Structure 1
C-alpha cells in the first residue's frame, strides 16, 4: 500500500503542477491543491502516515537547503535593515490583530495573546518554491524575505517562551532561551566562515560514490539537528547549511546534483502532505470564524511586512510582494497551535479552524506572489527546477 501511495503522490503532483503552470500560475499551487483533493479531506486516495510525515520533513529541509545554496550572503548582509523591518512589522501587526480578534470573540487576555502570537509566525518554504517557479529566487525581494523569515522565527520562539512563562503555567527560563539562539547563530557563523569548507574538503575526496553531494547533505542534516536542539526550526538550520556551502567551491556541484534528489520524491511529498491536515467535517457552523481569522491572518502579515519593506526603500509593488511572501504560516504556526492546544492556551473549537487558516495562507501565498512580483519574471535569469 505504501508503494501505491508514493505512486499516486508523484503522479498527482506532476500532473497538477503541469496544469497550473499551463494556466499561468506557479506550479506549486497545483501541487498544494492536489494534496487536499487526493487526501482525507476529499477523495481519500492517500492517508497520512508516520512515514509520509518523515519524508515530508526531509522534503522541506531540502527545499530550504537549496534556497541557502542559491542565496548570496553579501546580499543577505545588505538586506539586513529591510529584513529586520519586515520581520518586526510582520510580527507586531499580526500580534495586535490576533489579540483584538481574540478579545472580540470572548477569549481571555492570555488566550488572545497566544492567538496573536500564532498569527505572527511565518514559514517561507512555500514562498521559496513559488519564487523559484517565477525565476525570482535570486532577487533582492527574495533575499529580504529569507532574512526576515529567519528573524521572524527567532523572535516568535522567544515570544512563545515569554508567553508560556507568563501565562502558560510553565516555568521557562527566558534568558536561557535567548542564550540558546545566540549560541546557535555563533555555530552557524563558524560554519559559514570556516567549518563548512573544512568538512567539504575532508569528505569530498573520499573514494565513494557521490562523495560531494553526500558531504553537503551531511552538513544539511547536521545543522538542521543542531537548530532543533537549540530551539530553532530545523528549516533554519538547513538554510544555514546551504548558505555555508554556497561560500565554498562545491556550491554548483551540490546544487546541480541535489535538485534531482529533492524534486523527484521528497519535495512533492512535502507539498501534498500540507493538504493532509485539512478536514471539512463540522466546518459549516464555523465558517464565519474561519473567514474572520483568515482575513486577519492575511491582511496583518501583508500590511505589516509590506510596510516594513516600504519604509526601507522598496517600491509599492516590491513591498507588496515581500508582504505576500511572508503570509504563509506553514509548519511553524501548526507547531505553535499544537503547543497551545496541549497547554490549554488554545481551545479545541478554534484549533481545527486555525489549522485550515494556516493551510489557506499557504495556498494563497503563491497566488499573491504571482500577482505582485510575477511581472518581473522576464527580467530574471532562468532557474533550473
Structure 2
C-alpha cells in the first residue's frame, strides 16, 4: 500500500523551501541555503517530519539526478571537459588527495586503526558536487573554465572515494580474496566502458529512432528513461546516482538533434519546482545541529583541518594549472562541501563496525559546517571575481 504520509512531508518541505528560500534570497544569500535550513528544521533531529532514509530519500535522489543532468546537458561541453583532463587531475590531486592524506593522519593521531583512518580520509577528501553545481547554475557560472574544473575534479574524487570505500569494506570481510577486489574495479570499469559505447555507438541511433515517433513527447520520454537507466547503472556499479545523472546529461547534450530539440524546457519546471528543492531539503534533514556544540578535540581537528586543507589544497592545485588568484579561490570553496557520498561512507562504515560513534559525529560536524558555509562563501567568491573583471 502506498505510504501517503510522504505526501504530507513533501508538501510541508516544498512550502518551507519556498518561504526559507525567499527569506535567504532577500538577505542576499543563495536560495539553496534556505532549502538546506528548512531540511534541518524538518529533519529527524528537530521536528521529525522528513525521514531522510525513507520514501522521501527516493524523491531526493531523483532531484540529484535531474540537477546534474541539467548541468551536463545545458552548461557543460563534453569536449571541453575531456580537454581539461590534466588540470582536472592536478586539482583533484591537491583538492582531494591532500585532504585525504590529512584525514589518515588525524585518524592515526587519535588512535584509530588504519581502516577507520581510511574512512576518515575518504570523507575528508571527496566533494559533494550537487551543492556546488546548484550555486554555479543559479549564478550562471557552470560553463566557465573554473566551473568545468571543479565539476571534473569533484566527480573524479567521488569515483575514487567510492571505489576505495568498496575495497575497504571488502578488506573487512573474513576470507576476502584478490578476486573480490578485481571484481569491484572491473564492475566500475565496465560501467564506464558502457558509457563510451552509448556515447559513440548508440545515442545517435536512439536519437534517429525517436525522431520517427509521432508522439509530441517522444524525445522527453526517451531521454528521461535514459537518465534513470544511467542512475541505476551508476548505483549498481557502486557509484552514486548523481554520477549517472551527470553522464546522461553530457551524452544527451553532446548529440546534435537532442541539443537542438531543447528538451530542457520539459524538464526544468518540475525539476527545479519539486525534485531539486527536495534533494537539498533531504541534505539538511540528515544534519544534526547539536553536533556543533560538542567540545571534542577530534571534532575540532576534523572540522578545522577538513575545511582549511580542502580549500587550501584546491586553491593550490588551481594556481598550479594557471587560474588567477580570484578564480583559484572559487575552485577552493567549490571543492569544500561534503554531503551525499560522505554520509553514505560513514553510515556504512559505522554499520560495519569500522568506525565508532565519536568518529561518525566528527565527520557529521564537518558535513554540517561545509554544507552551510559553501553556498554563501562561493557566491561571494564569484561576485568578487566578477567585480575584478568588470569593476
Question: TM-score by structure 2 length?
Answer: 0.89
Are residue 266 (structure 1) and residue 287 (structure 2) matched? no
In structure 2, the residue corresponding to 1:207 is in which secondary structure?
coil
Tell me what 2:258 maps to: 250
- Give the alignment of 1:167-186 within 5 angstroms: 171=176, 173-186=180-193
Q: Is the 8 A contact 2:232 2:244 kept in 1?
A: yes
1:131 Cα deviation (Å)? 0.5
Q: Is the 8 A contact 2:64 2:245 kept in 1?
A: no
1:41 Cα deviation (Å)? 3.0
In structure 1, the residue corresponding to 2:263 is in which secondary structure?
helix
Gaps of 5+ in 2: none
Distance 2:156 2:146 in 1: 15
Q: Residues 319 and 264 of structure 1: is their aligned pair in 2 closer, same or farther, counting only changes over 3 Å?
A: same
From 203, 212, 218, give the equivalent of 2:219: 212
Q: Is the 8 A contact 1:117 1:156 kept in 2?
A: yes
Q: Is the 8 A contact 1:18 1:27 kept in 2?
A: yes
Tell me what 1:383 maps to: none
In structure 1, the residue corresponding to 2:214 is in which secondary structure?
coil
1:371 Cα deviation (Å)? 2.4
Are residue 364 (structure 1) and residue 373 (structure 2) matched? yes
1:373 Cα deviation (Å)? 1.8
Q: Residues 105 and 225 of structure 1: is their aligned pair in 2 closer, same or farther, counting only changes over 3 Å?
A: same
- Give the alignment of 1:156-195 within 5 angstroms: 156-166=161-171, 171=176, 173-195=180-202
Q: Is the 8 A contact 1:204 1:212 kept in 2?
A: yes
Alignment coverage as a number of residue pairs: 380
Tell me what 2:116 maps to: 111
RMSD: 2.4
Q: Is the 8 A contact 1:157 1:232 kept in 2?
A: yes
Tell me what 2:304 maps to: 295
Deviations 1:152-200 (A, max 9, x none): 1222233334434556657263333333222222221222223222223
Distance 1:164 1:64 in 2: 28
Q: Residues 118 and 366 of structure 1: is their aligned pair in 2 closer, same or farther, counting only changes over 3 Å?
A: same
Question: TM-score by structure 1 length?
Answer: 0.90
Deviates more, 1:204-213 or 1:360-369: 204-213
Tell me what 1:38 maps to: 42
Tell me what 1:311 maps to: 320
Deviates more, 1:34-43 or 1:316-325: 34-43
In structure 2, the residue corresponding to 1:250 is in which secondary structure?
helix
Q: Is the 8 A contact 2:107 2:117 kept in 1?
A: yes
In structure 2, the residue corresponding to 1:203 is in which secondary structure?
helix
Could you list the runs of 4 or more consecutive aligned residues of structure 1 that deviate by over 6 angstroms after TM superposition? none
Deviates more, 1:173-182 or 1:224-233: 173-182
From 6, 9, 21, give the equivalent of 1:5: 9
Q: Is the 8 A contact 1:29 1:363 kept in 2?
A: yes
1:62 Cα deviation (Å)? 0.7
- Give the alignment of 1:111-150 within 5 angstroms: 111-150=116-155
Deviates more, 1:212-221 or 1:301-310: 301-310
Tell me what 1:225 maps to: 232
Deviations 1:101-132 (A, max 9, x none): 21222223332232112211222011110111
1:284 Cα deviation (Å)? 4.1
1:286 Cα deviation (Å)? 4.5
Q: Residues 183 and 282 of structure 1: is their aligned pair in 2 closer, same or farther, counting only changes over 3 Å?
A: closer
1:28 Cα deviation (Å)? 0.8
Q: Residues 6 and 234 of structure 1: is their aligned pair in 2 closer, same or farther, counting only changes over 3 Å?
A: closer
Distance 2:10 2:163 in 1: 38
Deviates more, 1:283-292 or 1:133-142: 283-292
Q: Residues 100 and 65 of structure 1: is their aligned pair in 2 closer, same or farther, counting only changes over 3 Å?
A: same
Gaps of 5+ in 1: 381-385
Deviates more, 1:145-154 or 1:205-214: 205-214
Q: Is the 8 A contact 2:129 2:155 kept in 1?
A: no
